[in-house]
Amino acid sequence: MLSQKIQHFAVVLLGNEYCDNEWIHQFLKRNGGFVELLFIIYDSPWVNDVDIFQWPLGVATYRNFPVVETSWSMLYDERPYLCNFLGTVYENSSRQELMDILKQNGNDKLCWVSVREQWQPQETNESLKNYQDALLQSDLTLCPVGLNTECYRIYEACSYGSIPVVEDVMTSSRCGNTSVHHNAPLQLLKSMGAPFIFIKNWKELSAVLEKEKTIILQEKIQRRKMLLQWYQHFKTELKMKFNNILESSFFMKNKN
């Protein structure tokens, strides 16, 4: 059997958005199973940086979101839109509150806003192009929580140098760590100094957008550069961390 030949097991788990990942518990080595290392997506109380590590969600490759190359225009062009939000708006959600606040102040006219009432699992060529254009032509990308605080939109905005404005609230008590230090979402991004705008309530958005209107292009260019450099560094650091963890856990043990 294949399992008899494999000496070490590590799993990268696309975690459940509600953090219901109990099924894998029995397979962890600490519980008598064979999985020595677990890299899990979404904030989890299990993360200990010993045998369980948090891993970023990244962009939606399953929806054909591409690897984006930085261009001159991405860095230096004036962007015609203050912000963007393309997505599903659920009734009685914070996304509804977000839309109401945008409309109250007329900022929906200055932002690229396109909403739908039902989630679509797959993009069409046209909807993907619209989405990419919105990211490229907006200085800010609004990132309301969905089933989880972490979403593809955060990373996709980074790809185009559009600053994520992130709703910084935990969506499920199962996801957060009970310790005071970890009782907030997006621990991995925050620990690596993500240069985002974090807000606790969409009522703060009006002030964010008013300030945005006063920022000159030169400052925006510097901010885009900083975001794109940070994002590249973030990916490189995590790749190195992943390799180092595997090497020290699997190969160094073999030498001892």
1: confidence class by pLDDT, cuts 50, 70, 90: very low
147-202: pLDDT as tens digits: 899 999 999 999 999 999 999 999 876 787 555 445 689 999 999 999 999 999 99
Average pLDDT of span 119-125 = 70
Cα end-to-end distance, the chain, whole Å? 27
Sorted by where each starts, the structural domains of the chain and their CATH numbers stand as 2-56+238-255 (no CATH), 61-233 (3.40.50)
Q: Which residue has the higher pLDDT, 209 or 7?
A: 209
- At 174 the pLDDT is 77
| Strands 112-116, 163-167: pairing kind | unpaired
- Is residue 25 pLDDT above 50, yes or no? yes
Of 113, 139, 135, residue with least CA distance to 215: 139
What pTM was estimated for this model as a whole?
Answer: 0.92
Asked if residue 88 lies in contact with residue 95, where contact means CB atoms within 8 angstroms, the answer is: yes
Q: Helix 205-212 crosses helix 94-104 at what angle (to 10 degrees)?
A: 50
Asked if residue 52 lies in contact with residue 46, where contact means CB atoms within 8 angstroms, the answer is: yes
- At 181 the pLDDT is 46
Write the DSSP string, 147-187: SSS--HHHHHHHHTTPEEEEE---S-TTTS-SSGGG-SS-H
Asked if residue 21 lies in contact with residue 7, where contact means CB atoms within 8 angstroms, the answer is: no
209-241: pLDDT as tens digits: 999 999 999 999 999 999 999 999 999 999 999
Of 112, 102, 108, 114, residue with least CA distance to 79: 112
Q: Helix 217-246 crosses helix 152-159 at what angle (to 10 degrees)?
A: 120
The Cα 70–Cα 112 span in angstroms is 21
Of 65, 67, 42, residue with least CA distance to 52: 42
The Cα 43–Cα 149 span in angstroms is 9
